Amino acid sequence: MITSADTFENGDEKIAAFASSDVFEKLFAVGMDLVEETATYLDGEGRQESKRLEKTTALVYASESMRLTTRLMQTASWLLVQRAVKEGEMSASDARDPKYRMGAKAICAASGNAMSDLPPKLAELLERSQNLYSRIDRLDSAMFTGDNAPATNPVNDHMQRLQAAFGNAFGE
């Protein structure tokens, strides 16, 4: 009989295997290269381009560049956690903690605000970062939810909530 603990451990093996895969190595390289390319752009050419924009476009530029950096911080963080699993600095089980999962989904969602008015390089970086974020978010969901997540018992969950709300007067 397979228990939820067995499923959880098997999921941990899948997480560790992914972190050691060539696919992960390539994804890590792509992600970190995009972080570096973006930092170079925003600190140099992008800074100069933003100074030449009209006021409303400059506000969109500022907003979208913040969205861009948030996406990249989320993806870089996730990639670094997976690398820590690969290098034995963190267990796959620890990597399941929600604080290491993809976050800021509302902020990182594509916006489309006057993208045609933005400098072409920023628009390109925004698109590439969105593609990377979406890819890693799908991986995160596949690795840490669904088949890899421990099975839950909805009835037991409700019973625990009722006991928490009503104490020992309920369920015993």
User: pLDDT tens, 75-123?
Assistant: 999 999 999 999 999 999 999 999 999 998 888 887 766 677 899 999 9
Report the C-alpha gap between 21 and 9 in whole angstroms: 18
Mean per-residue pLDDT of the chain: 84
- The residue range of the domain holding 130 is 4-169
Total domains present in the chain? 1
Give me the CATH number covering residue 106. Answer: 1.10.8.930
Sole residue written with tokens 């409303």:
56
Query: Do 95 and 85 meet the contact criterion of CB atoms below 8 Å apart?
Result: yes
**Measured distance between the N- and C-terminal CA atoms of the chain, rounded to whole angstroms:** 29
Query: Do 84 and 20 meet the contact criterion of CB atoms below 8 Å apart?
Result: no
pLDDT of 48-58, one tens digit each? 999 999 999 99
